[in-house]
């Protein structure tokens, strides 16, 4: 048996959020690698989850929406796949026996509890759900250390940092991390222009094809603010050593500067399949079907400072990180509610940071929060944001 065949035999995954953009691309990568699927979960898309189940034959399929789960059970009655629903089903998928890795691509705070459950069950985590570390970073990283499991980043920026840090055993050698940001579709616009932005315009990202929520977060720069908080937990670095630079071309996915002045960067085409695959094959590198970066046809690479005046969400995330406790969870809850309201056409683009600022200002000080504290702060901020329109 070859090394690649042995790798394929020993890896079995659950994907939480398999019908979203990351989930679909992850299944594409898994098919190419020959990895097996233990469980698939989604929110309510029974039709697409049925297609995925029939192709990948998981042991368990879960829909959070109980009505959709009943529909799925009827659709899959001729298959051996079990169907479950709701929170209990999601937790079962995260802790399923025989699965060694859980890829968490659930959108929002909903990913925190199953991720913690998977860690405590001894599963490695391929993490595509940034809200888990934003809201519960102390709990998640402590649980991972105790269980001896890996937290493997799937986001392109954090995958880039992770790759640049391979071989760096002493984090004291790291001077700073430089997260790159495309700036989204509106970089260069002022507050007056941003106040007129439509949902359709906000969903037109210049470089990446992503889900609606993360695309809006990219447009407001909240996504980058959350990545700053993630980096603190993933790489055990203080906020002051994590910077952001606007890099419109999305060729350099992030950089690490070391104390001797050397700067390492990871470059590639803007294609999520490469960071997904690296999270699933680490520490090995296997052939990947993504297009190759052609340096002779590469655009000029430019770097600009973030515009904190017109895009205040990045600074809001830094404020939340400095205060710690449940403040990042409150920021996340308000942001999720505000983005949903914007996508529903009920508020304007510039109302998103306004509602988030209000949540940060109102968040209580809880130095060492439990998961219940985190979820409570998130829920309170959501309710306040919805009432604040």
H/E stretch holding 267: strand 263-267
CATH number of the domain at 30, please: 3.40.50.720
Domain membership of residue 371 (yes or no) is no
Are 257 and 164 spatial neighbours (Cβ–Cβ below 8 Å)? no
pLDDT over 80 at 4, yes or no: no
Q: In sequence order, what E strands does 9-160 have?
A: 12-16, 36-42, 60-63, 82-85, 101-104, 124-127, 151-153
Q: Average of pLDDT values for 196-210?
A: 84
pLDDT for res 206: 74
Judgement on whether residues 77 and 182 belong to the same structural domain of the protein: no
What DSSP element (H or E) covers 160?
A: helix 156-164
Mean pLDDT (the chain) is: 94
Cα three-residue angle 355-188-312, rounded to 5 degrees: 25
Determine, yes or no, domain membership for 356.
no
- List of E strands, 281-346: none
pLDDT at position 238 is 96
pLDDT band at 209 (very low <50, low <70, confident <90, very high): low
Q: Is residue 296 part of a domain?
A: no
Cα atoms in the Cβ-side hemisphere of radius 13 Å centred on 28: 16
Question: Domain residues for 165?
Answer: 159-271+304-323
At 55-65, the pLDDT tens digits run: 999 999 999 99
In tens, the pLDDT along 69-91 reads 999 999 999 999 999 999 999 99
Q: How far apart are CA 305 and CA 224, in angstroms?
A: 13
**149 lies in some domain:** yes
* Tens digit of each residue's pLDDT (9 = 90 or more) over 263-316: 999 999 999 999 999 999 999 999 998 999 999 999 999 999 999 999 999 999
108 plus 19 within the same structural domain: yes
* pLDDT for residue 13 is more than 60: yes
The pTM of this model reads: 0.93
- Dist. CA 216–CA 352, nearest whole Å: 10
309 in the same domain as 178? yes
Would residue 25 count as lying in a domain?
yes
Residues 31 and 85 in one domain: yes
In a domain, 309, yes or no: yes
Residue 377, domain member (yes or no): no
pLDDT, residue 6, reads 38
Choose the final residue of a domain: 294, 323, 352. Answer: 323
pLDDT digits (tens, 9 = 90+) for 124-137: 999 999 999 999 99
Q: Is residue 208 predicted with pLDDT exceeding 70? A: no
Are 72 and 217 in a shared domain?
Answer: no
């Amino acid at each position: 048996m070859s090394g690649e065949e042995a790798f394929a035999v020993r890896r079995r995954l659950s994907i939480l959020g398999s019908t979203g953009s990351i989930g679909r691309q992850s299944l594409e990568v898994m098919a190419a690698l020959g990895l097996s699927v233990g469980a698939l979960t989604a929110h309510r898309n029974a039709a697409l989850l049925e297609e995925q189940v029939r192709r990948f034959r998981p042991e368990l399929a879960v829909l959070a929406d109980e009505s959709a789960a009943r529909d799925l059970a009827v659709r899959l009655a001729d298959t051996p796949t079990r169907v479950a629903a709701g929170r209990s089903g999601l937790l079962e998928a995260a802790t399923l026996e025989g699965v060694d890795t859980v890829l968490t691509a659930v959108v929002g705070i909903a990913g925190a509890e199953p991720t913690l459950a998977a860690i405590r069950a001894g599963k490695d985590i391929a993490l595509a759900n940034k809200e888990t570390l934003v809201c519960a970073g102390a709990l998640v990283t402590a649980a991972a250390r105790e269980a001896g499991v890996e937290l493997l980043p799937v986001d392109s920026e954090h995958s880039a940092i992770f790759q640049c840090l391979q071989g760096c055993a002493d984090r004291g050698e790291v001077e700073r991390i430089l997260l790159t940001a495309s700036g989204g579709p509106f970089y260069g616009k002022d507050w007056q222009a941003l106040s007129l932005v439509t949902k359709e315009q906000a969903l037109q990202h210049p470089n990446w094809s992503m889900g609606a929520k993360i695309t809006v977060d990219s447009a407001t720069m909240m996504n980058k603010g959350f990545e700053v908080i993630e980096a603190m937990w993933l790489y055990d670095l203080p906020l002051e050593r994590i910077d952001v630079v606007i890099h419109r071309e999305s060729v350099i996915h992030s950089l690490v500067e070391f104390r001797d002045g050397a700067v390492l960067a990871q470059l590639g085409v803007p294609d999520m399949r490469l960071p997904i695959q690296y999270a699933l094959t680490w520490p090995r590198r296997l052939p990947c079907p993504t297009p190759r970066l052609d340096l002779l046809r590469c655009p000029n690479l430019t770097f600009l400072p973030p515009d904190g005046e017109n895009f205040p969400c990045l600074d809001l995330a830094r404020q939340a990180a400095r205060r710690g406790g449940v403040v990042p969870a409150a920021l996340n809850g308000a942001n999720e509610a505000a983005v949903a309201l914007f996508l529903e056409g009920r508020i304007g683009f510039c109302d998103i940071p306004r509602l988030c600022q209000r949540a940060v200002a109102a968040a209580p000080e809880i130095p060492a929060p439990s998961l219940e504290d985190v979820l409570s702060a998130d829920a309170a901020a959501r309710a306040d944001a919805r009432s604040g329109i």
